[in-house]
């Protein structure tokens, strides 16, 4: 039955006015149990887990229950060479980064200011400024919705990749992340390979200084979702074959290419969109951000359809010019749950 009475506007960062049948905040594993445990409920009424809704686009009202994960708790254990952290999935990611630095534990600083909850971080293996979550993650604790089985996935089992993990594939829609384990090495080494961090001296720089530099870069480049609705990079940076890369290098020698370990070549989606002169393009209330072309924004009145139509145009123009197909990074949510985003914008 659909009776969309609860607004999701404050529960996702795109700020689009969509509704759900019900919204429940779960502060403990027990609360989650009673909301979605019984197979019967789960099968008849769709359930959607949300952290802070900073990586989702609702396409319609949601015909089910949205569970906001707020399972808290941070436990830190010291070993001879590391700090081991066990963190509840509902903890705020940026606050965790800040808290570790305040305690003198380096290692998460390059991932500062990424919105969202700790439990969502492994799902797309969050990354920024040459650090990805899998480099600091030890395990992901999950509970399956169908039978309540608890399982710990080590990092190999998580199959982490660029903006990817097993949780987006085999187990899609079937689990709740309840906690994440981290290992922060005591022997800290700064990661300063990103172009705007190279001015820092690796011999003297501290984790806090790297954190402050990252926060400055991000504040300059990315729109604040509390002011302008968005979900960060709307598209993933495309990974292309070496043969297409060679072809593009001849036609566009100024577009940088980044060779990956697996032989694929990564391009910057923002740069491709920028080259198509799409910055500022507006469809209804949705627009390509003027400073960062990879980010699509809600100028205030965007409908889901505006964002989808804009994404479709951007994908089409980039494909026509470069023969490269952009894929959304953002999870698209239909009235029944997570849906195939590429299909929607094709
Ligand atoms: P949500 O959007 O709430 O959920 C994302 C997906 O995970 C949904 O499919 C949801 O159903 C599922 N999910 C959430 N919690 C659970 C759970 N406990 N169990 C099972 N499934 C769950 N990402 C980066 O990688 N790097 C960046 O630099 C970056 N910068 C950003 C900047 C801005 C301004 C914004 C708005 C976003 C940015 N993002 C970035 C994207 C986003 O912040 C991350 O993907 C983040 O991890 C999402 O967390 P969330 O709690 O908001 O997830
Ligand atoms: N660029 C342009 N025009 C633009 C935007 C960027 O020419 O409009 C150029 C930049 O000058 C730079 C290159 O494109 O040479 C890459 O840009 P940037 O370093 O800003 O990174 P990005 O590829 O746009 C990625 C991640 C971000 C992450 C940053 C920093 C993806 C999809 N996005 O963005 O993650 O914070 O690198 O590491 O991988 C997110 O996932 O939501 C996100 C924000």
Taking only the tens place, the pLDDT of each residue in 311-321 is: 999 999 999 99
Q: Do 217 and 80 fall within a single domain?
A: yes
The ligand placed nearest to the CA atom of residue 123 is: 1
Phi, psi of 293 (to 5 degrees): -65, -20
Q: Domains in the chain: how many in total?
A: 3
The domain that contains 48 carries what CATH number? 3.30.43.10
Q: Do 204 and 86 fall within a single domain?
A: yes
User: pLDDT at residue 167 above 70?
Assistant: yes
Ligand 2 neighbour 293 (Cβ under 6 A): yes
Domain boundary among 190, 221, 252: 221
The domain that contains 243 carries what CATH number? 3.90.78.10
Check if 28 is active-site.
Answer: no
Ligand 2 neighbour 63 (Cβ under 6 A): no
Ligand 1 neighbour 61 (Cβ under 6 A): no
The ligand 2 atom at the shortest distance from the C-alpha of residue 292 is 8
Q: Tens of pLDDT along 53-107?
A: 999 999 999 999 999 999 999 999 999 999 999 999 999 999 999 999 999 999 9
User: pLDDT at residue 34 above 70?
Assistant: no
Q: Do 91 and 175 fall within a single domain?
A: yes
Sheet holding 6-7, edge to edge: 6-7, 19-26, 62-69, 47-50
**Distance spanning both ends of the chain, measured CA to CA:** 30
Residue 43, pLDDT score:
63
Ligand 1 neighbour 126 (Cβ under 6 A): yes
- Cβ contacts of 113 within 8 Å, gap of 6 or more: 94, 214, 215, 218, 219
The active-site residue out of 70, 132, 329, 341 is: 329
The DSSP H or E segment spanning 319 is helix 304-322
Check if 45 is active-site.
Answer: no
Q: Do 78 and 59 fall within a single domain?
A: no
Range of the structural domain that residue 156 is part of: 74-221
Check if 163 is active-site.
Answer: yes
Q: Is 69 helix (H, G, I), strand (E, B) or coil?
A: strand
Q: Do 181 and 318 fall within a single domain?
A: no
Q: Tens of pLDDT along 198-221?
A: 999 999 999 999 999 999 999 999
Domain boundary among 19, 36, 69: 69
């Amino acid at each position: 039955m659909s009776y969309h009475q609860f607004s999701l506007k404050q529960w996702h960062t795109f700020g689009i006015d969509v509704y759900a049948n019900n919204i429940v905040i779960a502060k403990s594993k027990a609360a989650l149990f009673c909301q979605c445990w019984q197979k019967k409920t789960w099968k008849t009424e769709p359930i959607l887990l949300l952290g802070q809704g900073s990586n989702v686009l609702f396409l319609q009202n949601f015909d089910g229950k949205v569970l906001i994960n707020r399972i808290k708790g941070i436990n830190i254990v010291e070993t001879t060479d590391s700090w081991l952290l066990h963190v509840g999935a509902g903890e705020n990611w940026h606050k965790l980064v800040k808290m570790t630095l305040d305690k003198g534990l380096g290692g998460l600083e390059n991932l500062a200011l990424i919105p969202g909850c700790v439990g969502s971080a492994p799902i797309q293996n969050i990354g920024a400024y040459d650090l990805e979550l899998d480099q600091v993650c030890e395990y992901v604790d999950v509970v399956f919705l169908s039978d309540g089985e608890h399982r710990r996935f080590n990092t190999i089992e998580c199959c982490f990749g660029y903006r990817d993990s097993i949780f987006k594939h085999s187990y899609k829609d079937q689990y709740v992340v309840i906690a994440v384990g981290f290992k922060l090495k005591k022997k800290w080494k700064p990661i300063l390979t990103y172009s705007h961090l190279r001015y820092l001296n690796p011999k003297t720089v501290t984790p806090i200084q790297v954190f402050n530099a990252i926060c400055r870069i991000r504040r300059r480049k990315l729109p604040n979702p509390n002011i302008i609705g968005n979900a960060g990079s709307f598209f993933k940076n495309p990974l292309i074959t070496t043969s297409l890369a060679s072809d593009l290098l001849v036609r566009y020698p100024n577009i940088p290419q980044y060779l990956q370990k697996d032989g694929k070549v990564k391009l910057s989606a923002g740069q491709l969109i920028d080259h198509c002169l799409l910055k500022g393009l507006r469809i209804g209330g949705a627009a390509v951000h003027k400073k960062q072309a990879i980010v699509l924004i809600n100028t205030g009145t965007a409908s889901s359809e505006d964002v989808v139509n804009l994404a479709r145009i951007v994908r089409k123009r980039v494909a026509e010019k470069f023969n490269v197909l952009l894929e959304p990074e953002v999870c698209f949510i239909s009235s029944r749950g997570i849906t195939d985003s590429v299909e929607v914008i094709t």
